[in-house]
Amino acid sequence: MKIIFGLGNPGSKYENNYHNLGFMALDVISQKTGIVLNKKGRNGVYGEGNINGEKVFLVKPQTYM
């Protein structure tokens, strides 16, 4: 199992800011793999799926950096 964290800040104020490159990278990985970030945990949004037969979690923490 792999967990990939994309670091950034939540909210529209930071949406296209270079501080959110981690969020942007996860969006690309999500699109290419079909893993949807549609689950909410205690402090983040995440999705789970498989990449090359291995279970993967994609996580966007929702706490400020």
Q: Is residue 19 flagged as an active site residue? A: yes
Spot the catalytic one: 3, 17, 19, 31: 19
Q: Tell me, what DSSP letter sits at residue 17?
A: S
Look at residues 44, 40, 42 and name the one whose alpha carbon lies nearest to residue 4: 44
Edge-first strand listing for the sheet containing 54-61: 2-5, 54-61, 44-51, 39-40
- Which residues have a catalytic role annotated? 19
